[in-house]
Structure formats: C-alpha cells, structure tokens
Amino acid sequence: MDIKSTTPLGVYDKSEEEEKKIILREYRALLRALKQNIKKGDKSLLRHAFEMAVEAHKTTRRKSGEPYILHPLAVARIVVEEIGLGVTSAICALLHDTVEDTEITLEDIAREFNNNVSKIIDGLTKISNVVDIRGNSTVQAENFRKILLTLAEDPRVILIKLADRLHNMRTLDSMNREKQLKIASETTYIYSPLAHRLGLYEIKSEMEDLALKFTQPDIYTDITRGLKETRRERTRYINEFIKPLKEELSHLGFDFEIYGRPKAIHSIWNKMRNKHVTFEEVYDIFAIRIILKSPPEREKEDCWKVYSIITNFYHPNPERLRDWISVPKGNGYEALHTTVMGPGGRWVEVQIRTARMNEIAEKGLAAHWKYKEGAPSAQESKLDSFLEHLREVLASPNTDTVDFIQDFKLDLFTEEIYVYTPKGDMRVLPKGATALDFAFDIHSQLGTRCIGAKVNHKLVPLSHKINSGDQIEVITSSKQHPSEDWLQFVVTAKAKSGVKAYLKEDKRKTAESGKNMLKRRLEKMNTTLSQHNINELVQHYKKSSPLDLYYAIAVSNVDLGELKNFTLYGDKLQHQSKEIKNDTKELVDEDALKIKHGKGVELVIFGERSDKVLYKLAQCCQPIPGDDVFGFVTSGEGLKIHRTDCPNAAKLLANYGHRIVKTKWAKNKEISFLTGVRITGMDDVGVIQKITNIISGELKLNMRSLSIDSKDGIFEGTIMVFVHDREELNMFCNKLGALDGITKIERIDSPEG
Ligand code: MN
C-alpha cells in the first residue's frame, strides 16, 4: 500500500536544501541504529541501496507533501530499531517500493544485490500488488493467503511489510476518510493479528491503537483524555505499590527495573466493551513490570524468587497466575504474570521477566533469533513449528479462502493449551480445542478418520473439549467420513479446512450432475452454459457461486421452471423483469423500507456525488443519523448502511473494499430510526414510570418496547425507541442518566446484542 501523490497537498513548505538535510539525517540515524550489526562491505551496499531508492523516488511525494524517500527510510528504521533485523532487511526496506512504483526492475535489484535481497523484494512486491486490487471477496482473501504464503517462505518479507504498514498507519492523517477506514480495517483484520502471532507486541499494540484512533475517533479521544486525567493519581498509587518491592529487591542484590505502565488504549476499550463497563470501572488500567538482568542460567530461578518476594507483600490471586517461563507461548513470549491485591483493595497485575525475555516480547521471535547474528537457539524451533503449521494449512486444497482467513485469524489470537500424545510429545492447541482438533493437528488423515479418542485413558467423543495436561490417543476407523456437523465443534483452522476440503470435494461430485442437468435444459432453449448465462443464473437464484447453483439443482433446491421467465438475446439469457439502467439505479425495494419504518418514504443518504440512493440499515449495528457510517453494496439486498464501529465493520472493510460506498447522512428530520439502549440501576419502584415520562412526555419519542428485569435489588432493562438522529439519542441518554438510581446507560448494537 503506498500513500503518495505526485502533487504536494496541504501546507508543506520546505526548501530543497532543508529536504536534503532531513533525508541525510534520517539515513545517518539508520546507520547508527545498525552499528553493531554492520560488517565489512555492508556500508557501501547500504549506501548503494539508499542512493538507488533516492534516485528512483525523486519525483514522487507523499500525500503530506514530503519527499517519498522518507517513507522507505522510516520503514528501514522501524525494521532495524523496532524489530531488530539486520543489514539485508534494511536494504530491502529501503527498496521495498521501487519495483512496484518506479522504473527499477527485479532484475536490476538481483544484479546490484544478492539473491536474498531480490527474493525478499519480490515477495514484498507480490503482496502490495494484490492488496489493493479491485476484485471480489475471494480475491481479497486470496491476497491474505498470499501474504501468509510469503511468511512461510521467508518471515522477513512479512516483518518488513509490518513495518511498512506501521509507518503508513502512523502517517494516516493525511489520507482521506475512506482510505483511512480501509487501511485501518485491513490493519486490525490481518496485520495486527500477524504481529501478535509473531510476538511483536509493541507493534501490534500501536497498530491497534492507531486503528482505533481512525475508526472510532471519539472513543480514542475519550480514553486518551481519561488516561491523562487519572495520571497523577495512578502515578501516586504505582509509587506506593512499588516502594516496598523496590527496597526488598535492592536489599537482596537484584539488578532490575520496576515500573508501572498503562495498558494500550485499544485493550482498555476492549475491556469496556466486553464487560460493559465505563472507563472508571476498568480496574486494571495499568500493569507493573519488573525486568531482571539475570544471567541465562539463573533466569527462571530469579523470576520465581521475585514472585515469592511480591507475594510476601501482597496477596496473590491463585487463579491469575500465568507461568509462561516453564512453557512459553507459541509466539515465544516468556514471562511470569500474577495478579495481587494491592493497597486500597485493588487488584494489580505484575509481569516478571528478564531483559532477554523483554526483548522477545517487544521485537518478536523471528527478529530475535533467526536473523540476528549470533548463535541460534531452541526458541528457533518454536518459530519453525509455527511456520511448518502454516505451510500445512495453506497447502490444503479446495479451501474457501474467505473462511480460511476467518479461521486462521481465530487461531492467531486465542489462548493456548498444552496436551500430550500417547508417547509424551507435547502439542500446542488453542483453548477450546476438541479431541477432533487434536487428531487433525497430528495429521489430516487421522482427522478425517477419527471416531473418538481416549483422554487420559478414558473414552470420549470427537467433540470432547481437551484441557492442558491431557494425554490423548486418537481412535480411527477406515469407514469414517467427515460430516457437516463436525464444523460446529472444531476450532482450529487446520481441522476446519480439513473438514471443509472433504465436504467440498463431496459437494463438487454432487454438483457435477446438477451442472449436467442445467446444461441439457439450456441446450433445449438453444443456448449454452456460457459465462454470461452462469452469472445471470447465479444472480437470479441468489447463490454465491456456480458450484452452489449446480449443487442446489442436483438436490432439487431450485426451480428450473423459472427459466421460462428469461428471454434470449442472441445466446444470452436476460431476466424479463430486469431493466438495464445506469449505475445510479435504485438499490433496494421499497417494501423492505415500509416494513422497517412504517411508511414508504424514500430515504436519502449522500454518496460522493450526492446521488439519491435507497438503502437499508444494517441489523447488526442499527445506525442512526449522526453516526459515523459507510455504505456496503451487498450481493442481493442493495446498499446497506453500517456504523464504522459495527462489530462486522473491520471484516467488511478489509475484505470487500471495492464494495464500500462513502456515505454521510442527509439532513432529514421527518424520519425516525429504531435504536436501543441498555440501562442498569438500583431497583426503584417508580423507575419505569419515570422512564416512560421522559420518552413520551418530555421528548415525545415513539417507543417500541421496554423490558426490565430485576434481581436482588439491581435492574437491567432494554429500551427500543425511534429517534431522529444521534443528537436526540444523546439527549435521551442524558435525561435517563439524570434519573436517580440509574447507574449505567449504553447503546446496544442490535436488539439481540
Ligand atoms: Mn511502502
């Protein structure tokens, strides 16, 4: 993804001299960062790459007006300073956009530099070629698959890509809103999970904070302000907490650092959202970190000693102890986490790790072990086994790529459990994995034939959830075949794609006969199964692919009698009722709107060219005027409007960028929109009366439903009302909040949500 333009925008007013100085300063900073890793001859290679990039990009500027070369320079610095890669990667970062955007060819690079460099640049070019393509969702998902494939080949490609993306996110301010949303969504959808999986916690965290900043600016600002306002109090508390520990650790002769640090903004936001709490109610807004400078042979012992000292002062919560030192996480993370009761009855999380572990936590496993000069380590095998796993999953044929990415993403984020084969080999699986996932993890052949398992010598069904420490023996039968319902309980990408591949193959065979039936029907009509006709029919029967259509025909789920409603133009089928219009045609039928709003009014939303377009509001987030929204062109239901903070937004924006329509609300005071709020409060007999007073008395809103549940003196209620816009909703919430006994009000995404 390149953020650039040939004409400078905005107020950019640096002279050529100043620019030269800045560019040189950046280059020198890069050299300084590489210092320890520079060998003989490296410097001239670097210089060569730098000059080549400067020359290649000399006529281009970024959207901000800056010379383009500052981008590759910044990417190179991230690659070196924040990921810890060496000279080869720095060279590649400097040249990462040249083959795609300038006259320079891959052959030029191969000639001037070594084979590694040209291979990496080739990988980077392939990724950027595919990311921005205008195509269907499968194409988009296929892109992600390609990204993952390059990862499996040489992790440096993806590490440089992550640096590239990070810098683009840092400079997203100068892009237009549409681009911001698309880039930010793509980042949360694929790049930050990857950074997480590769153990690049700092980068992952910054990416997610920036994505939040651009997708939900209000929330971002609120939390930032909240953090600022509470800083003084927090610092005081942290100092009080740390003081006795510091004294004791120094007294015992430890060489260490101890500090408190606030959690990332997006993680605070996740807590608020998942637990339905306000900023003030998020209790673990910071964590205490202790970093020990221990020699390798004493690391484990020292960390546990420190744990024991902490618990002499503060009482630990036994359920919150995490030992990632004895068994590191799959992405290489090592540390001891505990949560203890601090002064004033507050739970405080403490993370204990050594300086080496800390470096892995910040820069990731790949950087630390694989490409840094120095001895390899046992840790390398962790990365290797992850990459091996990735290659296996990617290699499975016939998987639907959109699904695949979804499944794979789940794998990236979940907590892990550690289980054992009958021979005592350890396997790492995501939490919630079943016996069947275990079977697929060992081998897909074992998975497709699995009929059950013995967990700790006890017979269990396929769907049995396994736990850390379990020892599992898979039982198979040659007569076994995967079935649709297996997908209900398997959780790993490998198992899912294994089952799906089998089912798809099965379906393909059935579909073959449907295809033949259709072919004969069309021949009778004097036409053929041409690409045009297939598309026309897939659309008419509302199927997602030709395969689905053939399958539905084979199992007689579609009525081929409807073919008589088609007219033949030459050999092209055309549905009679379908009119050919220009691209501003009505996108939705009026009936749907009548149901939704009680009257047949034409609602308008303004796209880029202020066309009047009909649309539907997405059920998943129920937007109202005033919300930040985008339009999404669905395949059968016209334009749908989603909130940019809709739970599905990231997925849609990242996968179907080409179907996004920029929208904003028209000023329209006549129509009201259904929305809902959830309220919590202390039980009060008069509360319903007061609420209805506000709704129908003061604000004269039209209420659709009000339900209140109360238990043990606390009540929770859901109110669905029609409002004109966000302003009215806010007014409503403020009035509710002013009532005695109501403690919390939050908007809900959908009536079920
Ligand atoms: Mn770039």
Tell me, yes or no, whether 63 and 204 share the same domain.
yes
Tell me, yes or no, whether 114 and 60 share the same domain.
yes
Residue 238 belongs to a domain with what CATH number?
3.30.460.10
461: left (phi over 0), alpha (psi -120 to 50) or beta: beta
Tell me, yes or no, whether 715 and 733 share the same domain.
yes
Q: Beta strand 673-682 with 714-723: parallel, antiparallel or unpaired? A: antiparallel
Supply the pTM of this predicted model.
0.65
Cβ atoms of 752 and 684 closer than 8 Å = no
Report the alpha-carbon distance of residue 578 to residue 560 in Å, rounded.
Answer: 18
| Residue 375 pLDDT > 70 | no
With vertex at residue 544, the alpha carbon angle to CA 541 and CA 546, rounded to the nearest 5 degrees, is 80
Tell me, yes or no, whether 342 and 417 share the same domain.
no
Chosen domain end from 500, 518, 549: 500
What secondary structure letter does DSSP report for 254? -
Query: pLDDT confidence of 259, banded at 50, 70, 90?
Result: very high
**Tell me, what's the pLDDT at 506?**
81
Q: How far is the CA of 72 from the centre of ligand 1 (A)?
A: 6
Q: How far is the CA of 114 from the centre of ligand 1 (A)?
A: 21
Which segment of 172-176, 223-227, 692-696 scores lowest on mean pLDDT? Answer: 692-696
Residue 685 belongs to a domain with what CATH number?
3.30.70.260
Range 463-498 burial, b when 16+ CB lie within 10 A, else e: ebbbeeebebbbbbeeeeebeeebeebbbbbbbbbb
Query: pLDDT confidence of 328, banded at 50, 70, 90?
Result: confident
Cβ atoms of 574 and 584 closer than 8 Å = no
Burial of 310 (0-12, 13-18, 19+ CB in 10 A): buried
Tell me, yes or no, whether 738 and 695 share the same domain.
yes
Report the alpha-carbon distance of residue 629 to residue 649 in Å, rounded.
Answer: 10
Q: How far is the CA of 737 from the centre of ligand 1 (A)?
A: 48
**Tell me, what's the pLDDT at 250?**
96
More confident residue, 657 or 256: 256
Range 594-614 burial, b when 16+ CB lie within 10 A, else e: eeebeeeeebbbebeeeeebb
Order across the sheet with 472-476: list the strands. Answer: 458-460, 450-455, 472-476
Q: How far is the CA of 133 from the centre of ligand 1 (A)?
A: 16
Tell me, yes or no, whether 255 and 207 share the same domain.
no
Which residues are within 8 A (CB) of 202 and not within 5 positions of it... i.e. 6 or more apart?
A: 82, 362, 363
Place of tokens 């009679």: 576
Cα 41 versus chain centre, distance: 41
Tell me, yes or no, whether 354 and 425 share the same domain.
no
**Tell me, what's the pLDDT at 63?**
86
Cβ atoms of 584 and 560 closer than 8 Å = no
Q: How far is the CA of 22 from the centre of ligand 1 (A)?
A: 19
Q: How far is the CA of 588 from the centre of ligand 1 (A)?
A: 39
User: What are the φ/ψ torsions at residue 465 (nearest 5 degrees)?
Assistant: -75, 130
Q: Which amino acid is at 190?
A: I
**407 closest CA partner among 329, 485, 498, 330:** 498
Residue 475 belongs to a domain with what CATH number?
3.10.20.30
| Residue 87 pLDDT > 50 | yes
Tell me, yes or no, whether 286 and 206 share the same domain.
no
Residue 100 annotated as catalytic: yes
Within a domain: 541 = no
pLDDT in tens, 640-681: 888 888 888 887 877 777 677 777 676 656 677 888 898 888
Q: List the alpha helices (DSSP H) in 473-545.
A: 493-524, 531-540
Q: How far is the CA of 181 from the centre of ligand 1 (A)?
A: 18
Within a domain: 458 = yes
Residue 255 annotated as catalytic: no
Query: pLDDT confidence of 69, banded at 50, 70, 90?
Result: very high
Residue 117 belongs to a domain with what CATH number?
1.10.3210.10
Q: How far is the CA of 68 from the centre of ligand 1 (A)?
A: 9
Cβ atoms of 665 and 605 closer than 8 Å = yes
- Looking from the CA of 140 toward its CB, the CA atoms found within 13 Å total 21
pLDDT in tens, 600-627: 333 445 433 344 556 778 888 888 877 8
Kindly state the helix (H) or strand (E) to which residue 708 belongs, with its residue range: strand 702-711
Q: Maximum Cα–Cα distance for the chain, whole Å?
A: 93
**Structural domain range at position 457:** 398-500
Of the chain, the percentage scoring pLDDT greater than 70 comes to 81
Within a domain: 687 = yes
Q: How far is the CA of 182 from the centre of ligand 1 (A)?
A: 16
Within a domain: 576 = no
Tell me, yes or no, whether 320 and 435 share the same domain.
no
295: left (phi over 0), alpha (psi -120 to 50) or beta: beta
Q: Which of 101, 202, 248, 506 is catalytic?
A: 101
Q: How far is the CA of 119 from the centre of ligand 1 (A)?
A: 17
Q: How far is the CA of 38 from the centre of ligand 1 (A)?
A: 24
**Tell me, what's the pLDDT at 411?**
59
Report the alpha-carbon distance of residue 347 to residue 285 in Å, rounded.
Answer: 10
Chosen domain end from 500, 526, 554: 500
Q: How far is the CA of 32 from the centre of ligand 1 (A)?
A: 22
Cβ atoms of 288 and 349 closer than 8 Å = yes
Tell me, yes or no, whether 47 and 171 share the same domain.
yes
Which residues are within 8 A (CB) of 743 and not within 5 positions of it... i.e. 6 or more apart?
A: 680, 681, 682
Within a domain: 529 = no
Q: How many of the other CB atoms lie within 10 Å of CB of 195?
A: 28
Q: How far is the CA of 169 from the centre of ligand 1 (A)?
A: 11
Within a domain: 753 = no
Tell me, yes or no, whether 154 and 24 share the same domain.
yes
Q: Which of 100, 506, 637, 716 is catalytic?
A: 100
Q: Beta strand 673-682 with 660-662: parallel, antiparallel or unpaired? A: unpaired
Report the alpha-carbon distance of residue 332 to residue 65 in Å, rounded.
Answer: 40
Burial of 74 (0-12, 13-18, 19+ CB in 10 A): buried
Within a domain: 388 = no
Q: How far is the CA of 643 from the centre of ligand 1 (A)?
A: 29
More confident residue, 690 or 56: 56
Report the alpha-carbon distance of residue 695 to residue 702 in Å, rounded.
Answer: 7
Query: pLDDT confidence of 227, banded at 50, 70, 90?
Result: very high
Q: How far is the CA of 524 from the centre of ligand 1 (A)?
A: 55
Within a domain: 371 = no
Q: How far is the CA of 154 from the centre of ligand 1 (A)?
A: 18
Q: How far is the CA of 89 from the centre of ligand 1 (A)?
A: 14
Tell me, yes or no, whether 327 and 445 share the same domain.
no
Q: How far is the CA of 159 from the centre of ligand 1 (A)?
A: 13
- The count of domains in the chain is 5
Mapped onto helix, strand or coil, the DSSP state of residue 471 is: strand
**Tell me, what's the pLDDT at 142?**
63
Q: Which residues pair with 642 in a beta bridge?
A: 630
Report the alpha-carbon distance of residue 405 to residue 408 in Å, rounded.
Answer: 5
Chosen domain end from 313, 348, 363: 363
Q: Which amino acid is at 660?
A: I
